[in-house]
Structure 1
Amino acid sequence: MVECAVKDWQGEVVGQTAIDLKVAREETAAGIVHRALERQLANSRQGTASTKTRAEVSGGGRKPWRQKGTGRARAGSNRSPLWRGGGVIFGPKPRDYTTKMNRKERRLALRTAFQRRAAELIVVEDFATQFARPKTKDLVEALRRWGADPTARLLLILPERSEALDNVYLSGRNVPNLKLITATNLNIFDLLAADQIVVTAAALTKIQEVYGE
């Protein structure tokens, strides 16, 4: 269990909360998180890269010149991989990069990664009511008050996508290094890529409800 301070809109500490998730053992934690990260990156690949072999390129069909007597190297087709415009040897073909990982392992890796980032975690009270209209400047100033660096890679976790939070999303999309996700869309890559993580108290509760065991 990890204790975290909760800050209000002005950046003042107004309470405490705890992160209590079932995580992997210390000796296996790095391995399971790494496998989950590799799986996410592999599954995001399209796998559509494709090249043509000598059998698929157009042309060929006739021997460019006779076998002997010309003084040139023997050639059987102008679609040879050695020729300009010829086929590609062992080039990429469409393939499926998907890798599998048990659901229990995936969730364990996610809980482990989240709790291990507790030192970089900033918990704040819900602040949707502060945005009557989209205002990027107000959000950037709030991030500074909370102790986050707006120029760093930031991850802002909100409880869910709703009309009440639309102005927050619209305010945050203009911040270059800020990524907004919901608690149910938590993923390994975003957790590990962020320098600092800002999470609302409601989102933290949602994470513990959805991923806690």
Structure 2
Amino acid sequence: MPRVPVYNVNAEQVGEIDLSDDIFGVEINVPVMHQAVVNYLANQRQGTHSTKTRGEVRGGGKKPWRQKGTGRARQGSIRAPQWIKGGVVFGPKPRDYSYRLPKKVKRLALKSALSSKVKDNEIIVLDELKLQQPKTKEIVKLLKNFNVDKKALIVLPDKDEIVERSARNIPGVETMVANNLNTYQVLRHNKFIVTKDAVRKIEEVFA
């Protein structure tokens, strides 16, 4: 059972917490994490791209010159693909890129991602994170206390608009509610900052 220190917002250790082996101590499965990331990115695609075929490009109804006798190659339309301003061959059309992964695969990927954060010492557990009013400098101070100078994901047990508003203007910093965690967000951030209550929520939801 992994045991990690618990800090206050001033980066002072105030205790320790035991993390669940079933969530934070599983064997890291890289191929499954890759599947989950590809799935997440595919599901984010709008798929609104569109090109025009030769039948959709305006013009080109008239044969540019007669079939024989000119010495030039035969042409039927100035909107054929080989012409400038002609149609596009096999170009993209609007489509849905989304697909579903089995629930067990998604859950295993998330557990592997969380376990990798523990293994690589990229997890920071806070006793609590409470702000009286939205202040970006408070979150900046928190990150500076822990020497976090890259991307960081702050995980809260429940929605906290004050913390979210305080962090949203900091480049590379995102906030999430524990039960909305996904593999992509965990892996793309260098530091995983989570409160004690959020840890318990994660263990409760994803056990």
| Structure-1-length-normalised TM-score | 0.89
Counterpart secondary structure, 1:199? strand
Deviation of 1:143 after TM superposition, in Å, equals 2.0
Residue aligning to 2:122: 120
- Percent identity for Structure 1 against Structure 2: 43
CA distance in 2, matches of 1:95, 1:36: 21
Q: Which runs of structure 2 are paired with 1:177-188 in the superposition (5 Å)?
A: 177-188=172-183
SS at the partner of 1:4? Answer: strand
Kept in 1, the 8 Å contact 2:26–2:115? The answer is no
Cα deviation, residue 21, structure 1:
4.2
Q: Which runs of 4+ in 1 moved over 3 A?
A: 23-26
* Equivalent residue pairs, number: 204
Mind listing any 5+ residue stretches in structure 2 that lack a counterpart?
none
- Equivalent residue for 1:90? 90
User: What SS does the corresponding residue of 1:42 show, helix, strand or coil?
Assistant: helix
Tell me how far apart the structure 2 counterparts of residues 127 and 116 of structure 1 sit (CA, whole Å).
24
Secondary structure of the residue that 2:108 maps to in structure 1?
Answer: helix
**Gaps (5+ residues) in structure 1?**
none
CA distance in 1, matches of 2:178, 2:147: 19
The 5-angstrom pairing of residues 157-196 of structure 1 reads 157-161=155-159, 165-196=160-191
TM-superposed deviation, 1:196? 0.9
Aligned pair 1:153/2:155, yes or no? no
CA RMSD of aligned residues (A): 1.7
Q: Residues 25 and 6 from structure 1, CA distance in 2 versus in 1: closer, same or farther, beyond 3 angstroms?
A: closer
Per-residue CA deviations over 1:96-121 (Å, capped at 9, x if unaligned) read 21222111111111111112111100
Distance (Å, rounded) in 2 between the aligned partners of 1:207 and 1:81: 54
SS at match of 1:179: strand
Partners of 1:31 and 1:138 in 2: CA distance: 38
Tell me, what secondary structure is at the counterpart of 1:60?
Answer: coil
How big is the shift at 1:25?
6.7
Could you say if the C-alpha distance between residues 178 and 25 of structure 1 is closer, same or farther in structure 2, counting changes exceeding 3 Å?
A: closer
- Cα distance change on mapping 1:108 and 1:21 into 2, 3 Å: farther
What amino acid sits opposite 1:96 in the alignment?
Answer: D
Measure, in 2, the Cα distance between the counterparts of 1:42 and 1:92.
15
Q: Quick one: which amino acid aligns to residue 71 of structure 2?
A: G
TM-score by length of 2: 0.92
Q: Distance in 1 between matches of 2:21 and 2:184?
A: 19
What are the Cα deviations for residues 46-98 of structure 1, in whole angstroms up to 9, with x where unaligned? 11111111122222222111112223222111110111221101111112212
Matched, 1:44 2:39: no
| SS of residue paired to 2:179 | helix
Separation in 2 of the partners of 1:102 and 1:64?
A: 55
